[in-house]
Homo-oligomer: A and B are copies of this chain.
């Protein structure tokens, strides 16, 4: 489809980007166990050893893909929160929707991002990207309960994240609502989000 170069020159020119793009697609197609460096190279139209000049190992490529995944996740959360207006609780729900939507759209990537095995290599860039998403979440929770103590805030950040992450994880792994329609599943997800926000508000002393 996208044939940028006419003849396929000796130097690819943007191999690093091409490998990341091919790798991300391959990841979703074949899963983490089916992911191979050589297949990425084939899809980028280069020899099997070419990737070595851009990624030290297969884990290195996976780390890069995961890092970009965190950037996209942060963007998805931000965008959805923005659409949710000014109310802190509504924004927290929105961010959760963005989180779940990203996971649903990129299930294997999401699995990779949150798999210690796949990202134990601990690239600084990866850690920074993950931290960025975490802070986004943290601030959204704290905005809902600004008057709560630091301790309560911390526990509610944990709790809110756990509820959102746990729900979408269980869905993606086929443990929850596998026979539901997408519509019904979304409804279940929103219910979980609502219960989460309500619990946060209550614990934060925001009961009416």
Contact = CB atoms under 8 A, between A and B. Distances in A.
B111 A173 contact: no
Question: How many copies of this protein are present in the complex?
Answer: 2
Interface in A86-104: none
A54 interface: no
A159 B156 CA distance: 15
Nearest to A31: B117
**Interface size class, chain A:** 35 or more
Contact of A166 (B115, B169, B173): B169
Interface in A181-208: 188, 191-192, 195-196, 198-199, 202-203
A11 interface: no
A166 to B, nearest CB: 2
Contact of A173 (B115, B154, B191): B115
A141 to B, nearest CB: 12
Interface string A28-39: 000111000000
